[in-house]
Chain A
């Protein structure tokens, strides 16, 4: 009975995720059909012969009905085929797989950086709530969260690459030279991490304050346990769980948000791949790239959601006691 409730919860989450992915593919296909005029004419230009247009339409699969396109897309995806680049015939999957590690590297680095800075800020804030540090962190958090990442990117580039010349201006570094690649990673990581530092600091601070106000913490205080020990040993662990869930979801958002850092620092990646494809109207690459980002976004949300249910003993108890979703 208990495990059945957990299974239903897992099944429900998986079904919702699968539906979201399927729906987004339908939306992507439908959007391509909505392009004013004929996509093949848009790609080839108005002087293209009708034969060339018909041939390209057949190659992209636009001559088929929408529903057939969707099924054929899923069929191809199942066999590892995301279509091909209309200009040079390269498989979209290999383009995406080449770009993905760069984007994943910057997203993971940004997340780690955000945690490394955000958690101590939250601890300082929660240790002396209402104090000067707390007020400063509160203001800085909103500042970090609300400053667009592309503004941070341009400012960092201006100060550290153009003016001080501490960091390289463009690119992802020499392949094979790990030190050079890490050096190229610093500024894009800082640009993407800034907003998340603020977000983690705020979220964790409010979780910490909530827990610090609970009865068991009052008992600990009555026993004379020091405030720092309460914070680090008893409050941080339960307070960090909701933050972890948000981080999981944020990772998917970072994969999309990386487009600006990639374009500004001229890094190859999923975002810059989609951006270049949009500018050249290379629709199969746009479709394939966006599909992969949506898949990763839905997947990271799902993992975050499920791990929250499995890691948090309170949530686990709620689910296994039959009070599921």
Chain B
């Protein structure tokens, strides 16, 4: 509730709430609200302007742009939430394990994080896709690898900050097993900033997925990803501007909405993190 109030007071806060709610609803209800099947081809209707029949027009194969954008929301949200779930759980597990392990293991884990982050993120994603090939599953797994160090580093730093606290010491003295300490005491105490980080990473994941798909190295057509749609729009830019315009706006709406939401959550839940991030 506090987060909602803080959000509504920020510049663009109402916009963020509306944008994210709209996207989630659209993604969930896609089959109910999409006027056409996303892959239904009608060459006779190719590159039509917006009309009552096709509210946002059609693409080069006569597919309804609105329907493809609606299904694209599913792809964008589905991939970004999956990537965040995988990289958050793996990163947090590695970060906590590193912080509680002997120095050599800790250094090794930090070294691997450093190596992964020594690549600019889009270049690492490109290099990984070059090796394993494009496709939905690969994109989720490979982009997750890029984000694991984000969560790992914060989890490690947070764990180091509390590992010698009296309540952890007390648990250990009382004979609690390590897994119990980690699960019941370390994790709940470090998870707040991690969730904030997760929310702030969602727009970045959406951007990387759409970027890879735009380059033809992400989600394979005909699956409707906003990146694929933008690429189609870019290819036919000299004949029709509607696909490029609407798919670009969908991406801006999603990234801006989640970015503003992430900031509001950060300020509400953890003002200290404002500097750390």
Q: A23 vs B132: C-alpha distance in the bound complex, in angstroms? A: 20
**Which positions 162-219 of chain A face chain B at CB distance < 8 Å?**
162-163
**Which positions 222-256 of chain B face chain A at CB distance < 8 Å?**
230, 233-234, 237-238, 241, 244-245, 248, 251-252, 255-256
Whether B122 is near chain A, meaning CB under 8 Å from some CB there, is yes
Q: Which residues of A contact B237 (CB under 8 A)?
A: 154, 157-158, 162
Contact with A along B242-277 (1 / 0, CB 8 A): 001100100110011011100100000000000000
Given A146-B203, A275-B126, are A162 and B238 neighbors across the interface (CB < 8 Å)? yes
Whether A73 is near chain B, meaning CB under 8 Å from some CB there, is no
* Interface contact B127-A16, CB-CB below 8 Å: no
Given A16-B114, A21-B118, are A139 and B11 neighbors across the interface (CB < 8 Å)? yes
Segment of B26-34, B49-57, B211-219 engaged in the interface with chain A? B211-219
* Interface contact A253-B120, CB-CB below 8 Å: yes
Residue in B11, B115, B233, B255 whose CB lies within 8 Å of A148: B255
Whether B12 is near chain A, meaning CB under 8 Å from some CB there, is yes
Contacts between the two chains (Cβ within 8 Å), count:
135
Q: Name the distance in Å between B193's Cβ and chain A's nearest Cβ.
A: 19
Whether A20 is near chain B, meaning CB under 8 Å from some CB there, is yes
Q: Name the distance in Å between B217's Cβ and chain A's nearest Cβ.
A: 7
Given A23-B111, A151-B230, A154-B233, are A142 and B118 neighbors across the interface (CB < 8 Å)? no
Q: Which residues of B contact A281 (CB under 8 A)?
A: 130
Contact with A along B194-219 (1 / 0, CB 8 A): 00000000010001001100111100
Whether B133 is near chain A, meaning CB under 8 Å from some CB there, is yes
Q: How many residues of A contact B (CB 8 A)?
A: 54
Whether A274 is near chain B, meaning CB under 8 Å from some CB there, is yes
* Interface contact B130-A286, CB-CB below 8 Å: yes
* Interface contact B214-A147, CB-CB below 8 Å: no
Contact with B along A276-309 (1 / 0, CB 8 A): 0111010100100010011001100000000000
Q: Which residues of B contact A146 (CB under 8 A)?
A: 203, 252, 255-256, 258-260
Q: A148 vs B248: C-alpha distance in the bound complex, in angstroms? A: 9
* Interface contact B245-A158, CB-CB below 8 Å: yes
Q: Which residues of B contact A293 (CB under 8 A)?
A: 119-120, 123
* Interface contact A297-B119, CB-CB below 8 Å: yes
Given A263-B215, A278-B129, are A150 and B230 neighbors across the interface (CB < 8 Å)? yes
* Interface contact B234-A154, CB-CB below 8 Å: yes
Given A142-B259, A147-B252, are A36 and B132 neighbors across the interface (CB < 8 Å)? yes
CB-CB nearest in chain A for B248: A151
Q: A16 vs B117: C-alpha distance in the bound complex, in angstroms? A: 12
Whether B128 is near chain A, meaning CB under 8 Å from some CB there, is yes
A interface SS class: helix
Whether A28 is near chain B, meaning CB under 8 Å from some CB there, is yes
Given A142-B259, A252-B120, are A290 and B127 neighbors across the interface (CB < 8 Å)? yes
For B11, B115, B131, B244, the residue with the greatest tally of chain A CB atoms inside 10 Å of its CB is B131
Q: Name the distance in Å between B116's Cβ and chain A's nearest Cβ.
A: 8
For A26, A154, A263, the residue with the greatest tally of chain B CB atoms inside 10 Å of its CB is A154
For A27, A34, A138, the residue with the greatest tally of chain B CB atoms inside 10 Å of its CB is A27
* Interface contact A145-B259, CB-CB below 8 Å: yes
Given A36-B133, A264-B234, are A31 and B118 neighbors across the interface (CB < 8 Å)? no
Residue in A20, A151, A264 whose CB lies within 8 Å of B115: A20
CB-CB nearest in chain A for B208: A148
Q: Which residues of B contact A135 (CB under 8 A)?
A: 11
* Interface contact B119-A151, CB-CB below 8 Å: no
Q: Name the distance in Å between B67's Cβ and chain A's nearest Cβ.
A: 21
Contact with A along B1-27 (1 / 0, CB 8 A): 000000000011000000000000000
Contact with B along A29-53 (1 / 0, CB 8 A): 0011011100000000000000000
Q: Which residues of B contact A139 (CB under 8 A)?
A: 11-12
Q: Which residues of B contact A24 (CB under 8 A)?
A: 115, 118-119
Q: Name the distance in Å between A324's Cβ and chain B's nearest Cβ.
A: 19
Q: A16 vs B207: C-alpha distance in the bound complex, in angstroms? A: 29
* Interface contact B131-A290, CB-CB below 8 Å: no
CB-CB nearest in chain A for B263: A142
- Residue positions of B touching A, CB distance < 8 A: 11-12, 111-112, 114-116, 118-123, 126-133, 203, 207, 210-211, 214-217, 230, 233-234, 237-238, 241, 244-245, 248, 251-252, 255-256, 258-260, 263
- Which 3 interchain pairs have the tightest Cβ spacing? A256-B120, A23-B115, A20-B118
A-B contact pairs, 12 of them (CB 8 A): A32-B131, A142-B256, A148-B255, A151-B252, A158-B245, A163-B241, A256-B123, A278-B126, A290-B123, A290-B127, A293-B123, A294-B123
